[in-house]
Structure 1
Amino acid sequence: MDANPFWDFSLAIYRRPGVPACCLALQDRRGVDVNLLLFAAWAGLDCGVRLSADDLARIDGAVAGWREEVVRPLRTLRRRAKAEDDELYRRMKAAELEAERVQQDRLFAAGGVSRQSGGNVDFAAANMALLVPGGDPALDELVGLLAGS
C-alpha cells in the first residue's frame, strides 16, 4: 500500500515526548495493541469517526493473526537481543517496525475510514477508552498529549 495517512499520523504522534511511554505502559500493563490504540486515536482525531466496540473488534480481527504470529514474536526477540547484541537488536527493531507498518496498512484497509474535517480529541479519547476498560492513568496522559495537536 503506497499512501497510508494512518501510518503518517502514527509516526508523527509517536515522536511526541511522552507518547511512547504512555503507549508502552498500556501495552505492558493492560495488553493493549499499540497499533490498534493509535488507529482509534487517528479515527477520532483526524477522521471524526466515533468507533463502536463492534467496529474495533472487527478491525482488530483483521490483524490479530499477524500481530500474534509476526509482531509479538519479533518484539520478544528484539527485547531479548537488547541485552545480548547491539547489531541484532538494531535489525530486530527494524524488522518489528516493518511488521507494524504492515499491520497498520491492514488496519487502515479494514477500518474503512478516511480523513475529513470534524475530528477532535473527544472522539479519539472515546475510541481509545473502548480498548482500556476502566481507564488507566497512561490513557489519561495520552489523551492530554493528543489534545495538544
Structure 2
Amino acid sequence: MNNDELWNFALACYAEPGVEKACLELQALGMDVCLLLACVWLEIRGIRQNAQRLEDLKLLSKDWQSAVVLPLRNLRQAWREQAAIDTELASLRQRVKTLELDAERTQLDRLQQATQHWSREGGSDNWLNQLCTGIDGAPDALLTVLRRAASQLDAGGAD
C-alpha cells in the first residue's frame, strides 16, 4: 500500500463536483471530513466494517482533530475579517491555513496506517452510514455525493 494512497484519494475525491460542498455541509453537522473521506475510501476498497474498527478510527480522529486541527481552523477563521484589510495578518492567516492542511494530511496518514492490515473479509462495508448514525439533519444525499465521486475515482483507477 502506498503511504500517500489515502491522501491522494482524499485530494482527488474532494476535487470531484459537489464533494467540497457536501463535505462542508457534513462538517457543519458535526462530522470530521478527514474521517468521512477515510470511510468512503474503505468502502470502495471493500474493507470490512465493524464496531471496533469504527470506534478506533473515531478515537484516533477525535484526538487529533481536537488537539491540532480545530485550534488551527478556529484561529484561521477568527482572523478572516481582519485579514481582509491587514496584509500582514493575511499572510499569517495563509500560513495557518497551510498548517491546518498539513495537520489534516497527518490525520489521513494516521488513519491509513491504522487500517493498513485490514482485509476484505466478509461483513458490511457500509462505513459512512455507520459513521453518521445519530447525526441530526439528513446526511443521506450528502453521503451519496461522496459515494458517487469515490466510485467514479475507483472506476477510473485514480486511487
TM-score range relative to shorter protein? 0.7 to 0.9
Q: Distance in 2 between matches of 1:104 and 1:146?
A: 16
Q: Distance in 2 between matches of 1:55 and 1:127?
A: 10
The aligned runs of 1:32-43 (5 Å cut-off) are 32-43=31-42
Identity %: 35
2:137 matches 1:133: no
Larger radius of gyration: 2
Aligned residues: 139
The aligned runs of 1:23-34 (5 Å cut-off) are 23-29=23-29, 31-34=30-33
- Could you say which structure has the greater relative contact order, defined with CA pairs below 8 angstroms and 6 or more residues apart? 2
Listed one character per residue, the Cα deviations across residues 45-84 of structure 1 (whole Å, up to 9, x for unaligned) are 1x22131232111122223222111101111111112222
Q: Is the 8 A contact 2:69 2:103 kept in 1?
A: yes
Give 5+ residue unaligned stretches, structure 1.
117-121
Q: 1:69 to 1:87 in 2, by over 3 A?
A: same
Q: TM-score, normalised by structure 1?
A: 0.81
Match of 1:74 in 2: 72
Match of 1:57 in 2: 55
Q: Distance in 2 between matches of 1:4 and 1:147?
A: 19
Listed one character per residue, the Cα deviations across residues 13-36 of structure 1 (whole Å, up to 9, x for unaligned) are 11112111101111112x111111
The aligned runs of 1:62-141 (5 Å cut-off) are 62-85=60-83, 86-113=90-117, 123=125, 126-133=126-133, 136=139, 137-141=141-145
Taking only aligned residues, the RMSD between alpha carbons, in angstroms, comes to 2.3
